[in-house]
Amino acid sequence: MRSKIVAGNWKMNLSQTEAKALCKEVNKLNIGSEIEVYIFPPMLYASDCKAISTRVKVGAQNAYPKDQGAFTGEVSMWQLKEAGMDSVLIGHSERREYFQEDNALLKQKLDSALAHGIRPFFCCGEPLEIRQDNSFLSYVKNQLEESVFHLSAAEFEKVVLAYEPIWAIGTGQTASTEQAEEMHAAIRSWVGEKYGKETAEKTSILYGGSCNPSNAQALFACENVDGGLIGGASLKAADFSVLVAEGTWTILN
**Long-range Cβ contacts of 214-217 (<8 Å, 24+ apart):** 215/174, 216/242, 216/243, 216/248, 217/248, 217/249, 217/250
Read out DSSP for 209-230? SS--TTTHHHHHTSTT--EEEE
3-class secondary structure, 239: helix
Candidates 92, 116, 126, 184; catalytic one: 92
198 catalytic? Reply is no
Nearest to 244 by CA among 4, 58, 54: 4
Candidates 94, 101, 126, 164; catalytic one: 164
The rounded distance, in Å, linking the Cα atoms of 147 and 86 is 21
164 catalytic? Reply is yes
SS3 assignment for 46-113: HHHHHHHCCCCEEEECCCECCCCCCCCCCCEHHHHHHCCCCEEEECCHHHHHHHCCCHHHHHHHHHHH
Residues designated as active site: 92, 164
